[in-house]
Amino acid sequence: MQISSRFTIAVHVLIVIEAFHRDYKTTSEFIASSVNVNPVVIRRVLQQLKKAGIVEVQRGTGGASLARAPEEITLLDVYQAVDSVNKGQLFHFHENPNPDCPVGRNIHNIMDARLESIQQAMEAEMQSVTIRDVMNDAYQYIE
């Protein structure tokens, strides 16, 4: 199971906004030209980020800006804002394990705690990385 591409698109959006907002209006069309997707996709992601308090969006051609400082926005904030996984669960079990099989009947007992631990570790790592950290990496390529 993969995390939805909305997460990487959202991070890309935030980098574009932070990198270019001083020189350009960061409209959905402008951002979409960098992400190479339809502006409708960008507008949907921007709305999710806006709802989470990560960006501010001016209607029309006003463009988007960060609502908080880049060092105050973590990758976990972005991940949670764009609902990258279904129901907050990174791992999704197959629907019908065989209840007559001792493994199938107990697969949740076997795996649930481990998978929860893995997800918590991933989220803790995402919490430790800010958009400022990502921007610092980005500047070596875009300046």
Tens-place pLDDT, residues 128-142:
999 999 999 998 888
Domain that holds residue 118: 5-142
Q: Could you tell me the pLDDT band of residue 94, with boundaries at 50, 70 and 90?
A: confident
User: Secondary structure of 37-57 in the HEC alphabet?
Assistant: CCHHHHHHHHHHHHHCCCEEE
Domain count, the chain: 1
Q: Is the pLDDT of residue 1 over 60?
A: no
The CATH number that applies at residue 40 is 1.10.10.10
Q: What is the mean pLDDT of residues 27-56?
A: 96
pLDDT at position 93 is: 75
| Greater pLDDT, 88 or 80 | 80
Q: What is the mean pLDDT of residues 65-86?
A: 91
Helix (H, G, I), strand (E, B) or coil at 77: helix
The structure tokens listed for 71 are 């060092």
